[in-house]
Amino acid sequence: MTRTIDIGVFTTAQLLDAIAPSDGGRDILDPATGAIVGRAPERTTAELDAAISRARAAQRSWAQLGHRERSSYLDKAADAVDANSEALAELLSREQGKPLNGPNARFEVGACSSWLRTTASFEIEPEKVVDDGVGHAELHYRPLGVVGAIGPWNWPMMITVWQVAPALRMGNTVVVKPSEYTPLSVLALAYVMNTVLPPDVLSVVAGGRDIGEALSAHEGIDKLMFTGSTATGKAIIRSSADTVKRLTLELGGNDAGIVLPDVDVKAVAQDLFWGAFINTGQTCAALKRLYVHEDVYAQVCDALVEVAASMPMGIGLEEQNVLGPLQNRTQFDIVAALVETARESGATVLVGGDPATEQAGYFYPTTLVADIDNSNDLVTHEQFGPALPIIRYSTIDEAVAMANALDVGLGASVWSTDIDKAREVAARIEAGTVWINKHGAVDPRVPFGGSKQSGYGLEFGVEGLKQLGAPQIISY
Q: What is the per-residue pLDDT across 463-476, written as a single tens digit (0 to 9) for each? A: 999 999 999 999 99
pLDDT score for 23: 92
Q: What is the mean pLDDT of the chain?
A: 97
User: Choosing from 90, 95, 112, 284, which is the catalytic residue?
Assistant: 284
pLDDT score for 435: 98
- How many DSSP H helices and E strands does the chain contain? 16, 20
Distances (CA, A) of 274 to 23, 280, 361: 42, 9, 22
The alpha carbon of residue 119 and the mean position of all alpha carbons in its chain are separated, in whole angstroms, by: 16
pLDDT digits (tens, 9 = 90+) for 67-81: 999 999 999 999 999
User: Choosing from 180, 250, 382, 459, which is the catalytic residue?
Assistant: 250
Domain boundaries, the chain: 12-251+454-475, 255-443
* Residue 224 bridge partners (DSSP): 148, 247
Q: Is 424 a catalytic residue?
A: no
Whole-number Å distance between alpha carbons of 144 and 134: 31
With beta carbons less than 8 A apart as the criterion, state whether 103 and 279 touch. yes
**Which amino acid, 229?**
S
* Residue 367 bridge partners (DSSP): 387
Q: Among 177, 53, 147, which Cα is nearest to 459's?
A: 147
pLDDT at 132 over 60: yes
With beta carbons less than 8 A apart as the criterion, state whether 363 and 313 touch. yes
- Mean pLDDT for the stretch of residues 13-23: 96
pLDDT at 2 over 80: no
Whole-number Å distance between alpha carbons of 339 and 319: 29
Give me the architecture of the 255-443 domain, per CATH: 3-Layer(aba) Sandwich (3.40)
Residue 88 dihedral angles phi and psi, to the nearest 5°: -65, -40
pLDDT digits (tens, 9 = 90+) for 324-344: 999 999 999 999 999 999 999
pLDDT at 1 over 50: no
Whole-number Å distance between alpha carbons of 6 and 59: 24
With beta carbons less than 8 A apart as the criterion, state whether 454 and 409 touch. yes
pLDDT score for 6: 74
Print the SS3 string covering 209-233: HHHHHHHHHCCCCCEEEEECCHHHH
With beta carbons less than 8 A apart as the criterion, state whether 202 and 190 touch. yes
Q: Is 250 a catalytic residue?
A: yes
140, containing H or E segment: strand 136-143
* Residue 388 bridge partners (DSSP): 368
- Mean pLDDT for the stretch of residues 40-61: 98
pLDDT digits (tens, 9 = 90+) for 156-215: 999 999 999 999 999 999 999 999 999 999 999 999 999 999 999 999 999 999 999 999
pLDDT at 55 over 60: yes
Residue 181 dihedral angles phi and psi, to the nearest 5°: -80, -30
Question: What would the DSSP string read from start to end of 275-334?
Answer: HHHGGGG--TTSEEEEEEETTTHHHHHHHHHHHHHTS-BS-TTSTT--B---SSHHHHHH
pLDDT score for 356: 81
Q: Among 372, 448, 467, which Cα is nearest to 409's?
A: 448
Taking the whole predicted model, whether its pTM rises above 0.85 is answered as: yes
CATH code at 12-251+454-475: 3.40.605.10
Q: Among 431, 405, 372, which Cα is nearest to 414's?
A: 431
- Mean pLDDT for the stretch of residues 348-367: 92
